[in-house]
Amino acid sequence: MSKEPTARVEEFAGKLQNTKLEGDLKKSYYYHLISEAQKIIHAQIPKIESSTDKVAAAELGLREEYFDGVNYYRAIIYLMSNGCEWARKGAHGCMMCGHLARQTMIDKTILSDDYLKQFNDEFEKIDFKKYPILNLYNNGSFINDNEIPPEARRGILRKINSNPYIKMLVLETRPEFVTEEKIVEIKRLTPNKHVELGVGLEIKNDYYRGICINKGFSLERFNAAANIITKYLHLRTYVFLKPLFLTEKEAIDQAVETIDHAFAVGSTTVSLEAATIQDFTLMSYFYERGLYSPPWLWSILEVIKRARKQEKLIIGLFKFFPSPRVVPNNCNRCNKKVMAKIIEYNRTLDPKVFNGLTCACKEQWRGRLKEKPLAFSKRLEPLAAILEELRSL
pLDDT score at 92: 86
Q: Which of 192, 279, 266, 185 is nearest to 230 (CA)?
A: 266
Residue-level pLDDT at 12: 43
pLDDT tens, position by position, 229-246: 999 999 999 999 999 999
Q: What is the pLDDT of residue 6?
A: 43
**Which parts of the chain register pLDDT below 50?**
1-19
Distances (CA, A) of 65 to 74, 207, 346: 7, 32, 7
**72 vs 378: CA distance, rounded Å:** 46
Give the pLDDT of residue 105. 55
Q: Where exactly are the structural domains of the chain? A: 5-391
Q: Decide if 65 contacts 71 (C-beta within 8 A).
A: yes
The Cα 174–Cα 20 span in angstroms is: 16
How far apart, in whole angstroms, are the C-alpha atoms of residue 263 and residue 226? Answer: 10
Rama region for 357: left / alpha / beta (φ>0; ψ in -120 to 50; rest)? beta
254-307 pLDDT, tens digit per residue, is 999 999 999 999 999 999 999 999 999 999 999 999 999 999 999 999 999 999
In this prediction the pTM is: 0.92
pLDDT at 65: 93
Residue 109, number of CB atoms within 10 A of its CB: 8
SS (H, E, C) the chain: CCCCHHHHHHHHHHHCCCCCHHHHHCCCHHHHHHHHHHHHHHHCCCCCCCCCCCCCEEEEEEEEEEECCEEEEEEEEECCECCCHHHHCCCCCCCCCCCHHHHECCCCCCCHHHHHHHHHHHHCCCCCCCCCEEEEECCCCCCCCCCCCHHHHHHHHHHHHHCCCCCEEEEECCHHHCCHHHHHHHHHHCCCCEEEEEEEEECCCHHHHHHHHCCCCCHHHHHHHHHHHHHHCEEEEEEEECCCCCCHHHHHHHHHHHHHHHHHCCEEEEEEEECCECCCCHHHHHHHCCCCCCCCHHHHHHHHHHCCCCCEEEECCCCCCCCCCECCCCCCCCHHHHHHHHHHHHHHCCHHHHCCCCCCHHHHHHHHHCCCCCCHHHHHCHHHHHHHHHHCC
Architecture label for domain 5-391 = Alpha-Beta Barrel (3.20)
Residue 241, pLDDT score = 98
Residue type, position 151, single letter = E
